[in-house]
Amino acid sequence: MTIPERVLIVLLGAIGDVVCGMPLAQRLRSGWPRTRIAWAVEPAAAPMLATHPAVDEVIVFQRGHGLVALIEFLRAVRLSRPELTLDLQRHFKSGLTSFWSAAPRRIAFHSDNSREGNRLFNSEAIAPVRELTPKLTHFLRFADYLGVPAAPVSFGLAATAAERHSVEPLLAAAGERFAALHVGSTWPSRRWLPRPTAELCRALRARGLGVVLVGGPADEPFALRVLAAGAGDVVNSIGHTSLRQVIAIMERAAVAIGPDSGPMHIAAAVGTPVVALFGATSPLRSGPWGWHHLVLRSDVPCTPCYLPHCPIGQLCMELITPAMVLERVDAVLAGATEAREWQE
């Protein structure tokens, strides 16, 4: 095929999804070095793309700002004049964005893997996959479909020198070696529980490891419950850091621990070992790249339920104990485990 001069990636949504889409952008950049790559995204994840080496233009949809914001966003999409649009979202709004781009080729997921009539907005589709295919490898199927040369998985995600410097005062209290506990998630059902989280904090400190609580502003109430449960001497960065600074913190951490969330994927993307705690969602679909062998999940028949709110008291997360987490952490600290490529 003729290599396009301009490509638009449409992946508007969650921070973790955008991280999982970065290897596709990296592969496009490697295989098509002269192609201009734009990315349509919402504000929450946009800062991660601001300095990304594979992205030339970030088109932000100011979600929640009404009809005027939507019109301005769609106008910017049209003005980017893509010859090829890759719709990675599989929903109605991404389909509309892809269609409005007016690209001659608009490629989407197969109808078996898409929702809300998304396939109707696009001109082509990749082959179907089983539903619990890892998001990252599913996204890379677009490059396979286009015949882009294969390349090792690379995220291209890194903090700037200024961002690393900006978190130094915050991390000073955590010491040279610390664990980053990303305690929150957009779904309450995904979170671990405050009391075992606090117990884990104390156990990590007893091992001589500093503890830094990581998350976004919405996670502040949960973090306060962890502190109230007796977490002890920890650094609470939640509400005091930007998303870009979270990248810098994860780069420095000896290990990251927590549920399925954006910071989990950020940690994996920058090469930090991740002990991920799964219940409501499946690690087969959204586990941390390279660290699937460190995932913890309990053997409860209703998992994964994909319910934002658990009707039975989060039994799946309750059965994950601090001792189980510590066993994984100890293996990481002893150097007994390393990143592994995902095997489908």
Task: Annotate 61-78 with DSSP letters as a single string.
Answer: --TTSHHHHHHHHHHHHH
Write out the chain's pLDDT in tens, 344 residues: 789 999 999 999 899 999 999 999 999 999 999 999 999 999 999 999 999 999 999 999 988 777 889 999 999 999 999 999 999 998 999 999 999 999 999 999 998 888 888 888 999 999 999 988 999 999 999 999 999 999 999 999 999 999 999 999 999 999 999 999 999 898 999 999 999 999 999 999 999 999 999 999 999 999 999 999 999 999 999 989 999 999 999 999 999 999 999 999 999 999 999 999 999 999 999 999 999 999 999 889 999 999 999 999 899 999 999 999 999 999 999 887 788 876 55
Its pTM stands at 0.94
Tell me which residue of 344, 330, 234 sits closest to 273, measured CA to CA: 330
State the CATH class of domain 6-146. alpha beta
CB-CB contact of 277 with 296 (8 Å): yes
Q: Contacts for 292-298 with beta carbons within 8 Å, 24 or more apart?
A: 292/340, 292/342, 293/337, 293/340, 294/328, 294/331, 294/332, 294/337, 296/320, 296/324, 296/325, 296/328
Where are the chain's structural domains? 6-146, 161-333
Phi, psi of 128 (to 5 degrees): -70, 155
Query: 161-333: CATH homologous superfamily?
Result: Glycogen Phosphorylase B; (3.40.50.2000)
User: What's the Cα-to-Cα distance from 30 to each of 27, 65, 149, 218, rounded to whole Å?
Assistant: 5, 36, 8, 37
